[in-house]
Amino acid sequence: MGKFLRSIWALWRNRKLLQQFGELLRTQDGRATGEPLYCVQKKRRVYGMDSQWGEKYIWQYSECSEVSYETDERLVTELLFEEMEHIGEDEAEEMRGDIESQFESGEVEWKGVTYEKIYYAEYWETVTVHFTEEAADTYATQNAHNLGDHRVYVTSQYRCHDWIDLRKFLMEC
């Protein structure tokens, strides 16, 4: 007998656990989805995209990929931070204009340092899947520190007959 069948047999012997699990499957909110599968997903980014694929971008220091700024305003603020103590408002506005005039080119050069505009696309990557929303929520809560921006997404296992059969088996216990 294979590992899978031994596992099913062990569950079958513990019928009370199966009955509780089946009740949970029968009574949970399927979010208007037939044969639901609860996926914990985290947001991922793919950098280096062409600007035609989206409007999202970062400003990245060309010498170190770990230094980046999420918005134009954040870049300007960081570049002018040290200057603000020593200059007046008019000079600050002029410097701001010098920086902002370089935005369209996709590169900002300031004091010998270059920042590049890097476009990116975002997508949701499935990390793990669960029979129940409760289990998915528990996993997401316990692993939030590793997941970052995440969600629980429900997908359907429509026409996935082995999944449907297993789910029906569990619900009928």
Question: What DSSP string runs through 62-119?
Answer: TT-TT-EESSHHHHHHHHHTTGGGTS-HHHHHHHHHHHHTTGGGTEEEETTEEEEEEE
pLDDT value at residue 110: 92
- What phi, psi does 57 have (nearest 5°)? -155, 165
Q: pLDDT tens across 87-140, in order? A: 888 898 999 999 999 999 999 999 899 999 999 999 999 999 999 999 999 999
- Specify the higher pLDDT residue, 134 or 86: 134
Of 28, 67, 43, residue with least CA distance to 123: 43
Q: What is the pTM of this model?
A: 0.74
Give the whole-angstrom CA distance, residue 18 versus residue 14.
Answer: 7
The strand pairing partners of 124, in sequence order, are 43
Identify the pLDDT of residue 149: 97
Q: What is the average pLDDT value for the chain, to the nearest integer?
A: 90
Q: What band does 1 get if pLDDT is binned at 50, 70 and 90?
A: low
Q: Are the C-beta atoms of 150 and 140 separated by less than 8 Å?
A: yes
